[in-house]
Structure 1
């Protein structure tokens, strides 16, 4: 059967790999004009490690794990002068010692190398319309000629165009968690070598994480929903600087300067996608398009890898009945997604305390020296 996968991040790559493995003719369409390799490090954990082993890529992932072995904590919290005042133990933020943190660029390259050469990629285009005619889906593209596929997989992220076209407006499914996140690459040597360090004020966080090969700034702030253009990076930078830039302490002025000057700023709402069902007719959603958990869960990549695997296995078992296969996939994956989403409110509470009282309580709960 022919399948169109919309989106070439980890959910799309996982779906493409496993669908090709069961013999489907796979086409991947991706809005970005080239492979996107930039971004923050991500985690492969839990049952996704087994999926990676089945793909034959676990050894490569392990060999390319991020260089965080020298960290004294998952994150160390500091005051305005940089003095440590609290620390989140590594075991409080991971599932097990087997979890692997890896730079995004490395996992992208590893997954691309594992793909069948028969997988077709179309970059610089995206879906304009979808018509489910019962026996197939007829897809209109913004640039390319219309094409017909046996089914469609939406793997195009939290702001999924496929979900909007087939299931309805994003506002029906996206639940804003009351905060926004900013990620920006920083020069080597910024912050504390090999460590992840964060400075908080009520409702704001400013973090620098050194992975040796990469230094990333992580910032966030509490706010009601803000209307902005998801594709206008300069507008997003202004929102971030207006919300975070008036604090003269720690590395805040430097972080604002890099946000202002960088071409690789990521800005988005901390939100979750909650849907009553992940498929409709011959269209199914995977990854953040179906069940975005927010970056605070640390499980988005693992869910993406599991989702592609479960989808292909259930479609194979359904023997040519996509609707039945979609239902089986959702039944298997939903408990994992629910667990990941349910843990986020607690993480938001201690990573981004809303008040001075909550901030002090967080530091008492996670002291620098746990023997105190």
Structure 2
């Protein structure tokens, strides 16, 4: 009887595991909502500070570059601190920075407050997945990872459109203040439910060259730059694009962004169902799918319904790629190096976001916003060639090595 009871307890998540895991999921939601919120509010912020959308887009570009530059050094420094204190301090910085955003007196003040958010982002996304899997027993580590991904997906589905709606009716400042309030609530919640976890062994720069000898890891880093660069060339300016090129009104734009995010859940579900069965084909299809969608963005803009459908397909492929990238990174690294490997991945991904946002701004300024999809699609097509002919062969070789 005691043995059966023990087995039963081992096959379910306890309340002490659920509570902090839920907190991590909500944290993922607010961190991602904050990252994407300026995209939905770009026109309003630009109008308030009397600048163009391309100039206001520097909020996205510089934010991404700060995350890129600071992810590795902050993660190495933070690895010396207990995870509970580190997480609470990170959420605190995030919340305070959003209060500063809400009360920004000018564009440069707003940008400075966003840099504070970027510092918090750099640390949080380096430790979020490793923390989540350490909160639960072995059989539930995949569930813990999926909950972090779910928080991200819900941010795109609900967070970005909700931030846009709040911005439309009561101003973009109140949208940032709402994030601050949610962050303080999460901080208080995590203070009471988050357990003390043993800190990992401090990572030193001397370990970095060994980790970077992994060809699959280097390939994933290359993909984490190329595809986001192409994706964000278009996505950073999707709100003014829908308004100016597709001639959508505010309601249509909000609906399109909601459907884009909601479709991401289908991408996550597709990953769960098919990735293990046809791992390499699935990877190739997700990358090619993003390229095709971007290249079709301008031709399809003549019809609202077709454009909404295209954005839904876009959301499916992009979410699937994001989950694949994280899964492959955790597969090819060890427990001791996964947090730092993830911080580098996050940094390079944000380099792609910043580069894409900058490139999209150049296209808007010197050509036309109508061509952001064509420019982004060409870059993603390049990433597909790299994935199909260089990365996946390296993955096959690495998988075959233990069998020799």
**RCO greater where, 1 or 2, for CA within 8 Å and sep 6 or more?**
2
Q: Which has the higher helix share?
A: 2
TM-score, normalising length: structure 2? 0.26
TM-score, normalising length: structure 1? 0.28
Q: Which has the higher strand share?
A: 1
